[in-house]
Amino acid sequence: MRRITVLEHITLDGVIQAGGGPDEDTSNGFAYGGWCAAFDDDAIGAAVKKMLDMPIDLLLGRKTFDIWAAFWPQHGDIWPGVNTATKYVASNTMTSSEWQPSVFLNGDVAKKSPNSSKGRAQICTFGEAAICSRR
């Protein structure tokens, strides 16, 4: 079984949405995008860089995938591994994307998520409260 690593910015009251920038995710009227930038420090930077430098696959929700697919293909110099990582996307509405390699998982994601020991050592997820809270 492959290990899933969760990397999150989360407030004490449970906010995960749109930590990266003011326009990252304004769904449901969320007006506090970029909230975590003021709290970044060398320790957080080192932890994130360690994850970014590892060969990983990604488990993403559709919303995060949409945000990332619009950004990362043009910014691979910042994180080269994101474009070559297999992106497993939990979505009941999306079945394909130009950003490859991508695998779309619908229905019961827990039963369909990549759990074989083949391939990369870890599967990482970022910003996925809905995926992480499923049992």
**Percent over 90 (pLDDT), the chain:** 24
What pLDDT shows up at residue 94? Answer: 94
- Token representation of residue 49: 């860089």
Q: Which fold has domain 3-132?
A: Dihydrofolate Reductase, subunit A (3.40.430)
The answer to which of 16-20, 84-88, 104-108 has the lowest mean pLDDT is 16-20
CB 18 within 8 A of CB 24: yes
pTM over 0.75? The answer is yes
In the prediction, which pLDDT does 86 show?
A: 92
The per-residue pLDDT for 8 is 75
Whether the predicted pLDDT of 117 surpasses 70: no
Q: Are 59 and 125 in contact, with CB atoms under 8 Å apart?
A: yes
Q: Where are the domains of the chain?
A: 3-132
pLDDT at 29 over 80: yes
Residues β-bridged to residue 93: none
Q: Where are the alpha helices (DSSP H) in the chain?
A: 42-52, 62-71, 81-84, 109-112, 129-132
Tell me which residue has tokens 């991508």.
Answer: 102
